[in-house]
Amino acid sequence: MTPQPRDESQALNTRAVVALVIAMGLVGVSFGASAPLVASILEERGFSEYYTGAVSATLSLAIALLSPFAGTLVARLGPRWITLTGIILQGLCFSALGLALAWHEHLLFPVRFLLGLAAAFTFIAAETALLRGVQPYQRGRAMAAYGTVLGLGYGGGVLLSAPAYAWFGLWCFALVGLLAVIVAPVCRWGLKSLPRPKPETDSSRRRGRHLRWRLVILGLFGAVIFGVLDNGMTGIYPVEGHRLGFDRSQTLNIVGVMLIASVLAQPLCGVLADRIGALRVLAGLGLIGLAGAITTGWLAWSGAGYGPNLLGFAIVGLAGGGTYPVCLKLIGDRVRSEALPKANAAFSAAYGWASLFGPIAGALMIDIAMRTGLLGWALPGLAMMVFAILLPMLALDRHWRR
């Protein structure tokens, strides 16, 4: 399909791109440093896998429910102020996680919900600004850079969370709040160049409401893959890892390496999507992810140990992370500029619903695996399911486009 032309007034300068990327780096740190660490702490305090999964899923519920609201605000107010609001709210809510764990674990639910609202604001605002301001032939690489910084922040947050907790205890949650205080004025300065939204005419409102869903379903499924592997794996894998005999550092390292691997895949996948097309890249990623998940499940179940599990989850991360920028490019290529806030809100909501059911499905699969003697297959099995669905989705997309 021929890419839709973009309004040149939406073009980004380097300062704005850097500010948007920094904002998403903060979101990545917040996500990576919170979900696995909170899951590990709750497991050590004796909470069930279902309680831990529910705490992790609360953030995803907020993203799923509030993304349409965030998309409407971005369309009306523009990306600049929504991005800044998201950054400030990220810092406040992450700091509040430490207070919730100190006072009463039930307070994690409202705090995680507000953290999800902050993420929805930042995701939708940044993605809309980038997809509008980047030319089609560079879009894959631009979204790969965006996803890479997000993933680096996520992986770095996971890897640093264990030593930070060992050094500072619950005070470590205040560190991201301090980081947000530093990042917010930098982003405010960098985003000054973003154009203010123009008053909508009746015709632009009609075009903004009209979105050909069949053309973006495949792109939205990329958010499902990323959501399931992202929150489902990071939020609940420490439970399975502990029960396989790994300590906290080992389980967090497995999650962190998987996320770092997802980052390493994104630049190459973005370049390939720009050169050979998004659909071919997605087909290759689906096959690699399916093979990697099967191998990882067998290694974990057979008791192969820490090193082989680390390698197996790295392969799963490579395939899952690569789908993220490719699917965003697909949406940017197929959606009109004025409809992008709606499309990005749908992408964010799809991520939220997948992240919501991912930890719950992961907890259920751990329970089933424990009862059937298949512990080790639970989380790799979850990855197998999503990659197995991606391949027929590609054929369905080709049929719908015809």
Residues 66-87: tens digit of each pLDDT: 998 988 888 888 888 888 888 8
Query: Where residue 136 falls among pLDDT bands split at 50, 70, 90?
Result: confident
- Residue the block writes with tokens 């599990």: 309
pLDDT at 31 over 80: no
Average pLDDT over residues 15-30: 82
Name the CA radius of gyration of the chain, rounded.
Answer: 20
Give dist(CA 234, CA 32) in Å, integer. 8
Q: Which residue intervals of 302-339 are DSSP H helices?
A: 306-334
Q: Are 344 and 208 in contact (CB under 8 A)?
A: no
Closest CA to 216 of 389, 386, 383, 344: 344
Number of C-beta neighbours around residue 389 at 10 A: 13
Output the pLDDT for position 180. Answer: 84
pLDDT at 98 over 80: yes
Output the pLDDT for position 147. Answer: 79
Query: Where residue 8 falls among pLDDT bands split at 50, 70, 90?
Result: very low
Higher pLDDT residue, 37 or 195?
37
* Cβ within 8 Å of residue 280, ≥6 positions away: 272
Higher pLDDT residue, 219 or 304?
219
pLDDT at 155 over 80: no
Degrees to nearest 5, angle at CA 144 with 140 and 145: 120
pTM over cut 0.85: no
Per-residue pLDDT reduced to its tens digit, 325-350: 899 888 888 888 778 888 888 988 99
Output the pLDDT for position 114. Answer: 92
pLDDT at 287 over 80: yes
Q: Are 98 and 173 in contact (CB under 8 A)?
A: yes
The 8-class DSSP code of residue 375 comes to T
* pLDDT above 90 coverage of the chain, percent: 9
Give dist(CA 34, CA 180) in Å, integer. 15
Angle in degrees, 0-180, between the axes of helices 79-103 and 49-77, rounded to the nearest 10: 160
Output the pLDDT for position 402. Answer: 66
Give dist(CA 176, CA 129) in Å, integer. 24
Q: What is the mean pLDDT of the chain?
A: 82
Q: Which domains does the chain have, with CATH numbers?
A: 10-197+212-401 (1.20.1250.20)
* Cβ within 8 Å of residue 36, ≥6 positions away: 158, 161, 234, 235, 237, 238, 251, 252, 255
pLDDT at 315 over 50: yes
